[in-house]
Amino acid sequence: MSLADQEYLSIVKNILDKGALGENRTGMPAYKLPHQIMQFDLEKEFPILTTKFVAFKTAVKEILWIWQKQSNDVRELQKWNCHVWDEWMREDGTIGKAYGYQLGKYHQVDTLLDMLKKDPESRRMVVDLWNVKDLPDMALYPCAFLTMWDVSNDGRLNCMLVQRSGDMGLGVPFNMTQYAALICMIAQVSGLRPGLFTHVINNAHIYENHVEQLKLQLSRLPEAYAAPKLVLNPDVKDFYDFKPEGVRMSLSIIVARARNGVIGKDNRLIWHLSDDLKRFKTLTMGHPIVMGRKTFESLPKVLPGRVHYVLTGNPDYKAPEGVLLFHDVKRLLAALPAGESFVIGGEHMYRELLPYADTMYITEIEEDFEGDAYFPDFDPFRWKLEESIEGEGKLPHRFCTYRKVTGD
């Protein structure tokens, strides 16, 4: 179970149990509590909710628009097919002197990046979007407005985010995830490791029309999933080189292969390992599964509890309702939601998507088999064997977990 779900829903429960109902500028009454705090160790876990959908890609685009583009021009954000600021766009296409405008005008991002490299011991690394003089010319006062940065002696980048107003139903899940991603990006280009992320919300509130949905989300807590992993393009060394597609959630490969690399014959499995099938179901349940057309056709049925993403070169191919079809790898990857997704076959898909994967769950079968489909070779120096568990049954096999080695 992810810590993000636990900490976030703990605040939600406190507000529902103890919050005071009051009026506000929106016209929708809200229950509120002051001074709510969440803290995450980003080296251990990436904070994104698993008990509700979080528009991760949209969140990344917005934070790059503010911090990297340092823009207040909504039209620039729209070029990324992101429309979260359309409602506040003025006739000149901007949101006034808000958010990215304040970063660019005072070179705050460049100053922070420079201090992290030249004076990491400094206690003056503060980025502030709350410019009192410019508030009247902002379409919306900044909510998440202040970050304070600190470097630990062990080379970890820590950040405290102060948010004056936090809409628990919509805004907070978005903000906590996008700022966690921002910290990880800045850590990477500064030669640091992600550290503590402390999220302080001055006024945490739940609008009256969000109460029932949040109660439903609270009921999902016992079924919350483990936190997914954030994956950054490891080749990016300059903050201004990050692109939205270079900041994504984890893509995993799951496969059973023989000692000689064989994974199948005549579009079917060669072996039947009950513990392997059980492990496959446990790992993939509730997550998207990605496959080629032939693999999809080899399934006995559409697997329950998992959305199927199928790649095919046939534009006229038809699939059952609920199965998502794609004809281009990059479009498929762009469509995957936040959280861990699993590539389940076949050979072509493994070859295409291995460069994008960060985790491999491989059932290593310790015998050779004849077949016509093979798992691609991978560089053992780029992948670290993290876990190896012996399987059960007459056919000797091991459950191995490999993680991609990142960094220099």
What is the tens place of the pLDDT at every residue in 226-243?
788 888 888 899 999 999
Neighbours of 279 (CB within 10 A): 18
Asked if residue 23 is part of any domain, the answer here is yes
Q: Tens-digit pLDDT profile for the chain (408 aa)?
A: 789 999 999 999 999 999 999 999 999 999 999 999 999 999 999 999 989 989 899 999 999 999 999 999 999 999 999 999 999 999 999 999 999 999 999 999 999 999 999 999 999 999 999 999 999 999 999 999 999 999 999 999 999 999 999 999 999 999 999 999 999 999 999 999 999 999 999 999 999 999 999 999 999 999 887 788 888 888 899 999 999 988 988 899 999 999 999 999 999 989 999 999 999 999 999 999 999 999 999 999 999 999 999 999 999 999 898 899 999 888 888 788 877 899 999 999 999 999 889 899 999 999 999 999 999 999 888 899 999 999 999 999 999 999 887 644
* Non-local CB neighbours of 112 within 8 Å, separated by 6+ positions: 125, 127, 149, 186
Nearest to 343 by CA among 306, 289, 388: 289
226, 242, 265 — which closes off a domain?
226
Phi, psi of 204 (to 5 degrees): -95, 125
Examine residue 344 and state whether it is found in any structural domain, yes or no: yes
Kindly state whether residues 64 and 193 are assigned to the same domain: yes
Asked if 355 and 379 count as a contact pair (C-beta separation under 8 A), the reply is: no
Alpha helices in 1-107 (DSSP H): 3-18, 56-67, 74-78, 100-105
Token code pair at residue 143: 């909510």
Same-domain status, 301 and 182: no
Range(s) of the domain holding residue 339: 250-404
Same domain, residue pair 157 and 258: no
Residue pair 239/186 in contact by the 8 Å Cβ criterion? yes
Residue 336 φ then ψ, to 5°: -65, 135
The enclosing domain of 50 has a CATH number of: 3.30.572.10
| Residue 182 resides in a domain | yes
Asked whether residue 231 is assigned to any structural domain, the reply reads no
Asked if residues 389 and 276 have their Cβ atoms less than 8 Å apart, the reply is no
Task: Please indicate, yes or no, whether residues 273 and 317 belong to a single structural domain of this protein.
Answer: yes
Note whether residue 202 is domain-resident.
Answer: yes
**3-state secondary structure (DSSP) of residue 257:** strand
Asked if residue 233 belongs to a domain, the reply is no
Catalytic choice (82, 143, 159, 184): 143
The answer on 55 and 91 residing in a single domain is: yes
Task: Tell me how far apart the alpha carbons of residues 102 and 132 are, in angstroms, rounded to a whole number.
Answer: 11
Question: Do 284 and 367 share a domain, yes or no?
Answer: yes
One domain, residues 345 and 391:
yes
Residue 62, helix vs strand vs coil: helix
pLDDT in tens, 305-351: 999 999 999 999 998 988 999 998 888 887 888 778 999 999 999 99
The pTM for the full model equals 0.78
At 408 the pLDDT is: 40
Rounded Cα distance, 103 and 106, in Å: 6
Catalytic, 143? Answer yes
Choose one of 193, 226, 259: the last residue of a domain.
Answer: 226
Total number of domains in the chain: 2
Residue 189 covered by a domain: yes
187 and 282 belong to one structural domain: no
Q: Are residues 258 and 367 in the same domain?
A: yes
Residue 66 is predicted with a pLDDT of 98
Say if CB 173 and CB 199 are below 8 A apart: no
169 and 290: one domain?
no
CATH at 287: 3.40.430.10
Is 327 within the bounds of a domain?
Answer: yes
Residue 222 and residue 78 in one domain: yes
Tell me: do 199 and 268 sit in the same domain. no
Q: Where is the domain boundary, 191, 226, 261?
A: 226
